[in-house]
Amino acid sequence: MKNLIIKETSQRSFDFISKHIDVEDPKSLIVSTSTAFNIEKQFEKSFHCIVNLKRVNDIRWINKFFEAVNFKLEPGGLFIANVETCALRKRRILNKYPSGINWGVYIVDFFLRRVSPKLWGLKKIYFLFSRGQNRVLSKAETLGRLYSCGFEVIDEAFLDNRLYFTARKIKDPVFDYSPTYGPLISLKRQGKGGKPIKVYKARTMHAYSEYLQEYIYKHNDLQDGGKFKNDFRITTAGKILRKFWLDELPMLINWVKRDLKIVGVRPLSAQYLSLYPKDFCERRKNYRPGLLPPFYADMPKELEDIIESERRYLDAYDKHPFRTDWRYFWKAFDNIVFKRARSK
């Protein structure tokens, strides 16, 4: 088995795999396949580990494949696979072709294999001709799909121009049939009364990034202002949209629907709320979130300061609602327009 793995991949890849599993263990399934069928047809009910040597890029129905692996693994079982991320693909293409030609090849490749699968009307044409093979995938989308299918990533390494990862089965798949996958996205947030609402924004992150908040916090922690440090989920275009606040414009839909008001506490995800004190989480439920949070009036740095800023706002709002929102609005307006406060 060792020689077969090395022949299919490399010595470095074998070393990564063997670090986590015994490749000769009969309860370890090692395949090189792009179809879920070859996982589902196994007679063994469950495995300690499943290794797929084929790139994730060549799997058309990625989530179905990950779900099949999940079902064939025992609780806590390991899944080892690899992907050529879009960053690695870009480097490979630019290094492969002569200077001047390489960027032209890269731009065409990016549109055909990265953009077109996400555009309505072109998606079906793309899959008809490509059969889903050699797709361009970001690290964020790959790991996000893993987390949505019930895994957590415990190890990763860049080997042979691919990202190898080891993931542990921790639960059943969530079967999300409407992930954020277009230019306009809706994010699950907590509204007034603890009611779940969908907040609309322009896409600034790779698809399936919403499943990686726990992963990002574990590996990156928070920077000043309460955002995640070195967040690889944000796209290049997303950084531009955030700089000029264009990503926030669709939230006006939530204002029209009365899910949000102009000034109020920030609508937060369940993962981010878990960082708040429980008593304050309960208090926040009594208020409608806002488009402009107290953050832009006070400009706090640390998470504790952000929470304290929201406490002060709610204390003042309880006494004088209209006066408080009016005062916070103009303070936020001054910071945003004249002091260039921006989301990162």
CB-based contact 72:42 (threshold 8 Å): yes
Give residue-wise pLDDT tens across range 47-85.
999 999 999 999 989 999 999 999 999 999 999 999 999
Cβ contacts of 177 within 8 Å, gap of 6 or more: none
Question: What is the arithmetic mean of pLDDT over 245-263?
Answer: 92
| pLDDT greater than 90 at residue 209 | no
Question: What is the arithmetic mean of pLDDT over 194-208?
Answer: 90
Dist CA 51 CA 60 (whole Å): 18
- Going by the DSSP 8-state scheme, the letter that residue 227 receives in this structure is P
| pLDDT greater than 70 at residue 225 | no
| pLDDT greater than 90 at residue 165 | yes
pLDDT of residue 131: 77
Mean of the per-residue pLDDT values for the chain? 90
Q: Is 123 helix (H, G, I), strand (E, B) or coil?
A: helix
| pLDDT greater than 80 at residue 12 | yes
| pLDDT greater than 90 at residue 302 | no
Give residue-wise pLDDT tens across range 26-52.
999 999 999 999 999 998 889 999 999
| pLDDT greater than 90 at residue 254 | yes
Dist CA 13 CA 9 (whole Å): 6
| pLDDT greater than 70 at residue 227 | no
Supply φ then ψ for residue 140, to 5 degrees.
Answer: -60, -45
Give residue-wise pLDDT tens across range 99-109.
989 999 999 99
Dist CA 22 CA 30 (whole Å): 11
Helix axes 101-110, 86-96, angle to 10 degrees: 150
Dist CA 86 CA 65 (whole Å): 20
| pLDDT greater than 60 at residue 224 | no
pLDDT of residue 244: 80
pLDDT, greater one: 240 or 82: 82
- Going by the DSSP 8-state scheme, the letter that residue 222 receives in this structure is B
Cβ contacts of 72 within 8 Å, gap of 6 or more: 29, 39, 40, 42, 44, 45, 46, 47, 50
Calculate Rg over the CA atoms of the chain: 23
CB-based contact 208:145 (threshold 8 Å): yes
Question: What is the arithmetic mean of pLDDT over 270-277?
Answer: 89
Dist CA 344 CA 204 (whole Å): 11
| pLDDT greater than 80 at residue 335 | yes
H or E element at residue 82: strand 73-83
| pLDDT greater than 70 at residue 13 | yes
